[in-house]
Amino acid sequence: MSEHPDCALIRRGYEAFGKGDMEKLSSMMTADVIHHMPGNNPLSGHHKGREAVMDLYRRIAEETNGTFRVRLESVLADGRGHVMSFHTTFADRGDRGIEIHEGLFFTLVGDKITDIDGCTSDISENDAFWSQPLTAGR
């Protein structure tokens, strides 16, 4: 059984993200893509436009001193331009680590990502992780 092309696109996006290939990842998005981050922390909100989304990903890497990674668990498509992905996020920031189940809901137009909605299994834990002050040693 072959994978739906929309699922394959999202898997390629995860692969590019995992390798730090932001050029490839950026090419998978429309110029006006929006990434909606959940919660109430410094990363929360609507990151509008390809450059803003790429800046968000760079900031995540910087804030976690390069420890941020995801393990993709499943990808589901509806065949109408929507894809859901489920993953576990691992990262260290300051004196705190996190391992949390998360998901992304993608909207695709053609073969490009136009919208990404993030969801997390524990908004309070996610907010605490991203809101804590960094220690000098990072």
pTM of the model: 0.93
Q: Cα-Cα-Cα-Cα dihedral of 117, 129, 62, 6, to 10°? A: -20
Give the other-Cβ count within 10 Å of 107's Cβ: 17
- Quick one: pLDDT at residue 138? 44
- Quick one: pLDDT at residue 136? 44
Distance CA 138, CA 104 (A): 28
The residue type of 135 is T
> Which pLDDT tens digits describe the chain residue by residue (138 residues)?
789 999 999 999 999 999 999 999 999 999 999 999 999 999 999 999 999 999 999 999 999 999 999 999 999 999 999 999 999 999 999 889 999 999 999 999 989 999 999 999 999 999 999 998 765 444
Distance CA 32, CA 40 (A): 23
- Quick one: pLDDT at residue 84? 98
Closest-CA residue to 5 (of 84, 74, 79): 79
Residue bearing tokens 């692969």: 15
- Quick one: pLDDT at residue 81? 97
